[in-house]
Chains A and B, each alone.
Chain A
């Protein structure tokens, strides 16, 4: 091994390892095995799959953050690379931190121009080992991945039984595969042990830091939330990264929703496009069957006309928008939070839509199941605003909880009996108690009472068509009243004061939260106390306005170019242009904690820096 002129990175349970693979080579399950093994050793992990819009052949990375303290956002920087992809070898080599480790397939020597003297090279002849040990080409490819996982187990001093236990769990139904997989792990383990004793300064040690947490991706939790929330119908059109929401709904519905005759207590239709998907969800909810759809940016645009109908005709809808990098097709397999404005104000005319914004899988579950109640209560669309990072990556999360006493809130719905007992004339859109919401009836309720005509054209309290300006105006104003009611129904922001007297604060939402909290913890250790407000819904609760008033400098941290949440805050509260300062990330990767921290430091020091934490858009070197 060449001499290295840099101290090695040493850390216990606190490092970032990046796997560079080729899409479609079976690396994902091996990499997941590694990350789950760390989790099973009681150490929190945060895996991120960075994948191309491609089925086979293009580069893909899988980054695992091992984080004893439980910081689940992206940290930034890489301490250890497993470089299995020839196409990105150079890039992976260059971006590794000084003092880091570069594990590569040494069947072929590294090219001459790979001559960093500040990193530790760990060459393992993976391809040769596979040729020597396996005959079948597919096996040679798959076991290559397992061999490096075995080597990592040695290098990080992990409990080998945890890995063998995982193999046994994974192949419980295909026992034949257990022995060869364990064999491959041992091959890697023994090779590393023989050739790289004492090379690696990174360690995974058993802890008890995950408690009763689970590991699940946001979309699975969302699909499950729809099952628990009583959704019976989904109309949808495939689009990454939302597809797995409906797939999860289908999986869990098949598991939990069969009647005695084996028939389905749910229905799923793959629509011809997103217009149709949204139309279907509207039709189902109009009939009182909880219905939803899931999409991403391009689909949200297509649903826009229908969202206006649902808003104006007051039909509950649950729409899951798993955001990805736009505009247009953008970077379809990369994350972003860039549908904030198009979701909040979706559709033509004066419209505003209720948003629920989860930040982890447990909230995906809770907010999706709650979304059906909120939509029924408010008789309006509710958009659950998730994103690719949350939806498609596994996250360590609180376990999912359900209160068996909880009853669905179906909102204001009249039964036949209610109609018979009514003294005054019923008006579908009549606000009888000041919350801006009328009573609805489901079709088929009563032979002679309760029928009405649902329409997207102007209507009076009794759902009759009208072009009377004052009636139209009164109706539009009632919808504003309903919007006020929504502020009490939607989840409150999570506000935390690190120092009651501090005039510096940060606002963030969704998947920007984890990395932001981590950055602010780091600043706090250095004496800077920044209060935080995590937005969980739109319309904004008045507490958010108060929070803005209380502070002089407020960093609004989000993952889009145009500072959409900041714009929304300024627009809704009519304040803050001066003190709301953006920190933005638009490279399609989850926002990194180290970069947020450094950016805030520089801004607080009075430097005139760009809001972007990403390389190109800041036109500045990105510091750690």
Chain B
């Protein structure tokens, strides 16, 4: 089945710095269920890329398998996309990133794709600190295979099937923080105001950035007994605070200057100005964040927002000391040592 989307756009749609309208960042019409949280996340990705004025073709969209992993077809149609195999988006993205360090990598995965079949690859991806944005569209179930519990389902939460989950959930944010990720956030598909800046910050961050987005599955896991339903999340959401993202070249006035209690400069000069209440969380401190997450869980709260930020880490290419030119642009002259070198080698083997 393929759907055609209306291409009509208002002639005076606003344009970004590159002269592109938001339409330049859209994708094919979604085939997900109406109301699926995943579609809202796709829209936030579109917004973030548009607002950052990224060249769409300099973005690579990566995914595994699942309803969530289908979404790259529904945003950024001028970007190359790769819908790989179940749970293995991390390795494919790692290879792609090694091959061309100049692209922006946006990976999309599900909670099954990441927290079960792909857990090994996910953890190693984090510890290598690959420069990419990793978005988990977390609905607590396997949507595409019709509603089995996933490893992020909370104890006691039940999907439409009505059987409460009895196994401990995985907290992907806690894992990523403990494995050294420098940018970890949690959000809600229904909260665009929070999610769009989080995606923008993740793109700007040099290194691995995780955004775990609670994204209700309206078909299999949106019942009142589910802790991944719209209703439950709206009622139990707490935020760590808000922030502004200030690109290097731009000196914009922030909305609430009094409330800025920290300003952190990213790799490319972009600033993240954090606004929080005086008694709230210090997100630069791993230990405090981990205990805040545990505490929130005990209070049946979903702690959202930017959970952890540490700009002081080396990405995979930094660690490997790879050349600045993307590897895929090197030619015979750069790569082949030639016949004289080979003859010298032959000589040493006689």
Interface residues of A (CB under 8 A from B): 40, 212-216, 224, 227-228, 230, 232-233, 235, 252, 256-257, 259, 261-269, 271-273, 275-289, 291, 305-306, 309, 399-404, 407-408, 441-448, 450-457, 464-467
Contacts and interface: CB of A to CB of B under 8 A. Distances in A.
A284 B83 contact: no
B100 A404 contact: no
Given A403-B339, A451-B57, 17 more contacts: A214-B349, A232-B99, A252-B337, A264-B320, A269-B128, A269-B316, A280-B98, A283-B96, A287-B103, A288-B100, A306-B88, A442-B100, A444-B102, A452-B80, A454-B81, A455-B82, A456-B85
B342 A280 contact: no
The 6 A-B pairs with the shortest beta carbon distances in the complex, nearest first, are A283-B95, A279-B91, A289-B99, A287-B99, A443-B80, A280-B95
B321 interface: yes
Contacts of B252: none
Contacts of A282: 84, 91-92, 95
Interface stretch (B8-16, B304-312, B323-331): B323-331
Nearest to B55: A447
B124 A451 contact: no
Contacts of A228: 336-337, 342
Contacts of B330: 230, 232, 265
A278 B98 CA distance: 14
Contact of A454 (B83, B121, B334, B343): B83
A287 B328 contact: yes
Interface of B: 1-2, 55-58, 60, 72-73, 77-85, 88, 90-100, 102-103, 120-121, 123-124, 128, 316-317, 320-328, 330, 332, 334-339, 341-343, 345-346, 349-350
A233 B91 contact: no
A279 B85 CA distance: 9
Contacts of A447: 55-57, 78
A212 B345 CA distance: 12
A453 B72 contact: yes
Nearest to B349: A214
A446 B79 CA distance: 9
Nearest to B316: A269
Nearest to A399: B346
Name the residue among B81, B92, B120, B343 with the largest chain A CB count within 10 angstroms. Answer: B92
Contact of A289 (B93, B317, B327, B338): B327
Contacts of A212: 346, 350
Interface centre among B2, B96, B121, B324 (most CB of A within 10 A): B96
27 contacts: A214-B349, A224-B345, A230-B335, A235-B95, A267-B317, A267-B327, A269-B94, A272-B124, A276-B91, A279-B85, A279-B88, A282-B91, A283-B93, A284-B328, A285-B95, A286-B96, A289-B98, A291-B99, A402-B339, A443-B80, A443-B103, A444-B58, A444-B60, A444-B103, A448-B78, A451-B80, A454-B84
A568 B315 CA distance: 46
A288 B101 CA distance: 12
A286 B99 contact: yes
B323 A263 contact: yes
B78 A467 contact: no
A289 B328 contact: yes
A407 B91 contact: no
Contacts of B124: 271-272, 276
Contacts of B60: 287, 443-444
Given A233-B98, A442-B328, A444-B57, A257 B320 contact: no
B128 to A, nearest CB: 7
A265 B335 contact: yes
B121 to A, nearest CB: 6
Nearest to A271: B91
A266 B336 CA distance: 12
A464 B81 CA distance: 11
Contact of A284 (B84, B96, B103): B96
B80 A215 contact: no
Nearest to B80: A443
A273 B88 CA distance: 11
Contacts of B339: 401-404
With a 10 A CB-CB cut-off, give which of B56, B58, B332 has the most chain A CB atoms. Answer: B332
Given A256-B341, A288-B100, A443-B60, A309 B85 contact: yes
Contacts of A455: 82-83
B256 to A, nearest CB: 37
Contacts of A407: 332
Given A263-B322, A453-B72, A284 B95 contact: yes
Nearest to A457: B83
A457 B120 CA distance: 24
With a 10 A CB-CB cut-off, give which of A214, A272, A464 has the most chain B CB atoms: A272
A263 B321 contact: yes
Contact of B342 (A235, A272, A401, A445): A401
Contact of B84 (A272, A450, A456): A456
A363 B312 CA distance: 47
Contacts of B128: 269
Given A402-B338, A444-B57, A446-B57, A285 B99 contact: yes
A399 B95 CA distance: 33
Contacts of B336: 227-228, 230, 402
A252 B85 CA distance: 33
Contact of A283 (B58, B97, B332): B97
Nearest to B123: A272
Contacts of B334: 259, 265
Nearest to A227: B337
A615 B336 CA distance: 47
Contacts of A261: 323-324
A121 B327 CA distance: 61
A306 B330 CA distance: 26
B94 A235 contact: yes
Given A228-B336, A286-B92, A291-B99, A264 B323 contact: yes
Contacts of B103: 287, 443-444
A444 B97 CA distance: 12
Contact of B79 (A257, A262, A263, A451): A451
Contacts of A215: 349-350
A516 B82 CA distance: 46
Contacts of A272: 120-121, 123-124
Specify which of B91, B100, B124 lies most central, judged by the most chain A CB atoms within 10 Å of its CB. B91
A283 B322 contact: no
Contacts of A259: 323, 325, 334
Contacts of A275: 88, 91, 121
B89 to A, nearest CB: 8
Contacts of A450: 57
A267 B85 contact: no
